[in-house]
Amino acid sequence: MKYLFLGYGNIDRQDDGVAWHLLCEMMRRLGAPVPAQPEDEMPVQYGDFAFDFHLQLTPELADDMDRYDRVCLMDAHTGNIPEEVHLEPVMAQYQSSPFTHHMTAGTLLSLCQVLHQHTPETVLVSVRGYEFKFTRSLSADTQALIPVGADRIQEWMNRPQ
């Protein structure tokens, strides 16, 4: 089983960068080398696990997803989801956005399906962000959710496909 862990968000805006921290936690748990910052050494390939981080989802990522059986997308949310850590399956479906720079997880998976006739099992893990100042460190409340998010991902990994 080949896995892609793909985090996205702005690491310079505090909790908006929670996916980077969650990605690093998953790398530690799976024994992969952890880069100091995403600008330096991403993506990281470690056995059947690939790890990558981007500012936002882009159509080009559909080509990367094609090579994997399972994909875990990671992002922040601002409280519009009741759970502090939320894991949900992603369905391949095009969704228009009022923002030209915004692509949904469902649209990205749909592109992968159309381009490659392959739809990897994909989930989106979103972690509650509380503060969005100009810093790379997380707020204490969001930092406390990193192990919870990693536990949820590992539970998903242990489920049969």
Q: Tell me the per-residue pLDDT of 46-57, one tens digit each, with 9 for 90 and over.
A: 999 999 999 999
The pLDDT score that the predictor gives to residue 101 is 57
Q: Is residue 53 assigned to a domain?
A: yes
Q: Is residue 50 assigned to a domain?
A: yes
Question: Alpha-carbon distance 60 to 76, whole Å?
Answer: 21
Q: What total number of domains does the chain contain? A: 1
Instruction: Say whether pLDDT at 142 is over 90.
Output: yes
Question: Alpha-carbon distance 140 to 61, whole Å?
Answer: 31
Its domain, for residue 104, covers 3-118+140-158
The pLDDT score that the predictor gives to residue 128 is 98
Q: Tell me the per-residue pLDDT of 100-122, one tens digit each, with 9 for 90 and over.
A: 557 899 999 999 999 999 999 99
Nearest of 76, 93, 86 to residue 148 by alpha carbon:
86
Q: Is residue 105 assigned to a domain?
A: yes
